[in-house]
């Protein structure tokens, strides 16, 4: 059985704890892209959810990395590997 995942976009902040919890009923993983030095403003409930389970997590984008086609290909492969 394959796993299904979604990318929360275009916002960095999850809409609410209820949204994340409801999304996990439909998809196996919920990801968002977060710049490496950005502090998310999640509610305590969302923070606990992200810390306790790996199904809702942040993909940290390293701004210091040069953007190249190879990096985007690597990112896509990583997403596929994790669901």
pLDDT tens, 4-63?
Answer: 888 888 888 888 889 888 888 888 888 888 887 888 888 888 888 777 666 666 767 665
Sign, CA dihedral 40-33-12-47, equals negative
Q: DSSP states of 10-31 as a string?
A: S-SS-S-HHHHHHHHHH-SEEE
Distances (CA, A) of 22 to 29, 70, 76: 12, 34, 25
Q: Is the peptide bond before 73 cis (omega within 30 degrees of 0)?
A: no
Q: Is the pTM of this model over 0.75?
A: no
Alpha carbons 37 and 25: distance in angstroms, whole number: 30
pLDDT of 1: 43
């Amino acid at each position: 059985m394959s796993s299904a995942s979604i990318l929360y976009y275009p916002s960095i902040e999850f809409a609410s704890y209820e949204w994340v919890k409801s999304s996990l009923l439909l998809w196996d993983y919920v990801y968002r892209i977060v710049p490496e030095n950005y502090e998310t403003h999640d509610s305590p409930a969302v923070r606990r959810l992200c810390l306790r389970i790996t199904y809702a997590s942040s993909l940290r984008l390293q701004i210091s990395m040069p953007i190249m086609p190879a990096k985007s290909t690597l990112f896509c492969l990583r997403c596929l590997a994790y669901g």
